[in-house]
Amino acid sequence: MAEMTNFTQADTSPAFFIDFLEFLDNQESVKTLRAESNRKLNICAGHKVLDVGCGIGGATIPIGEINGPTGLAAGVDLSSAMIEHAMKRAANQPWIKFHIADACSVPYPDDFFDLARSERLFLYLPDRLAALKEMMRVVKPGGRVYVVDTDVDSTAIYSQNPALTRKMTSVVAASMPNPNSARELPALARKAGLKNLVIEVSAISSRYEFFLRSMASSLIKAAEIGVITQEEVRECLEEQAALHASGDFFQMWSFVRVTGTV
């Protein structure tokens, strides 16, 4: 069973991950978060922007629509399936380019981009500092690096059994490579040498379907290997299904956004 925790091995189950990202890209909360960030970053026609961990291009393509044919929107991702899908989506926009590449080895020269961005990638990276320094390498002096991540360990779900639900969210967080990535971004940015840091914190709510897609499979797997019991998972999932049916389902995710200059 494919899981959200396995994005570094997306090519093992490409259909699952592509479908998951398409679902995510269509969420109004995600669209709003991206549009707001693009406005604050003042992305303009002619800008060269790098999107690291671009997936299927959900954030890259809208940026390309802003900076247009005189600019460049370049996305890199480790997954060949993701890149192939992204290239098809941007087939008629030659200034939007995608490459199969590791976050620590971007195929562009030094001082090339006006801005490098990354969204919900550092959750999964084995060497976040190296990836951040690589983003800085390809950005012009005075250019900016923008990183946003989700603090998985602080996700909040409404429940009438909060102790059990907190246990379930902690199990999901523990299955992620870097569940506290968001809260660690400011210190990481300082360590990398980014200057003039702007740190923003926000939160979004997500629908029941996202709960099922992002958490249910991880809980089922945790029960299979004995981390939690089958009964605990059943109780949690049944309660959330009932809350959804009554219109009371609620889940919240915290985000940290860090912007700095090179």
Task: Determine the pLDDT at residue 136.
Answer: 98
Which residues 6+ apart lie within 8 Å of 183 measured at CB?
151, 154, 256
pTM score above 0.75 = yes
pLDDT, greater one: 206 or 3: 206
Q: How many CA atoms lie within 13 A of 90 on its CB side?
A: 31
pLDDT digits (tens, 9 = 90+) for 51-64: 999 999 999 999 99
Quick one: pLDDT at residue 12? 67
Contact (CB, 8 A) for 135 and 116:
yes
CATH number at residue 249: 3.40.50.150
Residue ranges with strand state E in 151-216: 156-157, 195-206
% residues pLDDT > 70 (the chain): 95
Interacting residues of 98 by C-beta distance below 8 A, sequence separation 6+: 54, 57, 60, 74, 75, 76, 77, 83, 86, 87, 90
pLDDT tens column, 95-137: 999 999 999 999 999 999 999 999 999 999 999 999 999 999 9
Please say whether the beta carbons of 219 and 160 come within 8 A. Answer: no
Give the domain extent around 142: 4-261
Per-residue pLDDT tens digits for 160-177: 999 999 999 999 999 999
Mean pLDDT for the stretch of residues 6-35: 83
How many Å is the Cα radius of gyration of the chain? 19
- Note whether 177 and 126 are within 8 A (CB): yes
Residues 220-235 have a mean pLDDT of 94
Number of domain units in the chain = 1
Answer yes or no: is pLDDT of 6 > 80: no
Look up residue 101 and give its DSSP letter: -
